[in-house]
Amino acid sequence: MMGHTHAMTGAIAWLGLAPGLAALPMVMESSRFIETGIMAGALGPSELVAGAIVCAGAAMLPDLDHPSATIAQTFGPVTWMLSKAVNWLGGGHRGATHSLAFAVAMGLGAHWLAGTYPLGRAIMVVLLIGLALRAIGVGIPGNKMGSALVNIGLTAGLYAVFLSQGVGYAWLGLAVGIGCLIHVVGDCMTERGCPVLWPLSVKFLLPWKIGIKTGRKFEQKILAPLLSIAIVGLLFVRLGPV
């Protein structure tokens, strides 16, 4: 699937699942991860919106194994070199990063980071916001430098808004894990499938074998608009009319 599809499904997954998952004591009441603005059993509007954006960015992370993917191009040579390394270590595109093990590891790592290193948490949140904006096409067509500046400006603006709203990040690991997992689920709907149970090499397709072809008309002209409508609908349900 294309980057914007992964990002939108990440946002949908968060808006659909987070309110229910927030009720789990192990998620919301861990003594080390309680933060201002989050109560057991509920997420405030600011956390829901911030989480949707972060989860959308996290849904791009498995494609770090693809040097030509959106995520590998987002931050220039740094992410490209990292992508080349991940591609080699993970056994190529749709290798280790497209698995349940990767989603769990990223979620746990983000959860640990959120409660241990505030600066590291801030950097991760900013990067994931930037990835989400890049994935949905925020920028100036045909102008890489202009697009990068627009992305940086909007990312900084959104993070500043979240700071002003007192957004807590006890949910960060949950959002990252969900984002990575929904990416894998999405790619299991394509013809190639994913090694969900890596290190086992067998590729999994969803039972109904939809067989979506990446980048074709269905994904761009039909699926993308439907996902956009779903996001707006979920925001309306979760937040109510503004």
pLDDT digit string (tens) for 121-139? 999 999 899 889 888 877 6
Q: Which pair of structure tokens corresponds to residue 178?
A: 């969900």
> Could you tell me what percent of the chain has a pLDDT over 90?
29
Q: Counting beta carbons within 10 angstroms of the beta carbon of residue 92, is it exposed (0 to 12), middle (13 to 18) or buried (19 or more)? A: exposed
- Residue whose pair of structure tokens reads 């190529």 in the numeric block: 92
Tell me the average pLDDT across 76-95: 81
Instruction: Pick the more confident residue, 86 or 183.
Output: 183
Instruction: Pick the more confident residue, 223 or 154.
Output: 154
What's the pTM? 0.84
Q: What is the pLDDT of residue 31?
A: 38
pLDDT in tens, 91-111: 778 888 999 999 999 999 998
Question: Pick from 64, 86, 88, 85: which is nearest to 75 by CA?
Answer: 64
Tell me the average pLDDT across 13-36: 64
Is the distance from CB of 218 to CB of 210 less than 8 angstroms? no
Dihedral in degrees, nearest 10, Cα atoms 200, 202, 208, 211: 120
Question: Pick from 242, 101, 114, 89: which is nearest to 172 by CA?
Answer: 114
Dihedral in degrees, nearest 10, Cα atoms 11, 15, 21, 25: 100
Q: What is the mean pLDDT of the chain?
A: 81
Give the other-Cβ count within 10 Å of 225's Cβ.
Answer: 10
